[in-house]
Amino acid sequence: MKPQFAVFALLISTAPLALAASTVDLTVKGKITPIACTPGLSNNGLVDYGKISYKSLSADKRTQLHDKTLDFTLQCNGPARFALVMRDNRDGSAIVNSEIYYGLNHDNSGNKIGLYSLNFDPTQTVVDGWSQVFRTDSTTGGVAWSSSNSRSIPIGARSYLGFTDVAGSSAGPIAIQSLSSRVTIETVIAPTAELDVSTDIQLDGSATLDVVYL
């Protein structure tokens, strides 16, 4: 070890002094576009399960409620390349930690009530005059895209969801002006043994569906 240390010390002593930079550059970029897309959900985006008796729920297993559907529309004032992503307004309350599951908030004792997901099915989606719709996804903020296909997928909080009319393409979404789809909401309730059932428990899920322009 001593010879190695001696050589290292010699190299340092004979290397020219490096001058530290005293400035740093900041660049701000972006683009303001006249293109705008307006999303919409039927029933004002409300999914209401009504009153659920705790006796109809499992005490030691999670209970999946019956699926609900909403109609989703998106209208742009011109052809636009975009992707969809969803933000959980009850972040941290889902009983499974995954970007595709969203929370139902907490009961009166602070227990997590359950989770839900919002699922897009390309076969239930109509875009402009396309004969068929395929979905493509990006986990890199739009840098790279998955091979497009027609399988249903839950929308994620950290993954982009886009659409194309070409199967097997990794080129990403193409420009769309009008889109309509029927989305499915799947909801799961935690075991009642893990909940405070001494009083009413309000399902209180809330999320925001965002349009990201590409």
Q: Kindly give the confidence (pLDDT) of every residue in the chain, 214 residues in length, as a single tens digit, with 9 standing for 90 and above.
A: 333 323 333 333 445 555 667 888 887 887 777 889 999 999 999 999 999 999 999 999 999 999 999 999 999 999 999 999 999 999 999 999 999 999 999 999 999 999 999 999 999 999 999 999 999 999 999 999 999 999 999 999 999 999 999 999 999 999 999 999 999 999 999 999 999 999 999 999 999 999 999 9
Report yes or no on 109 lying in a domain.
yes
The DSSP-derived string for 45-92 is G--------GGGS-SSS-EEPPPEEEEEEEEEEEEE-EEEEEEETTTT
Global pTM reads 0.84
- Domain tally, the chain: 1
N-terminal to C-terminal alpha carbon distance within the chain: 56
Report yes or no on 2 lying in a domain.
no
Structural domain span for residue 159:
55-213
Report yes or no on 44 lying in a domain.
no
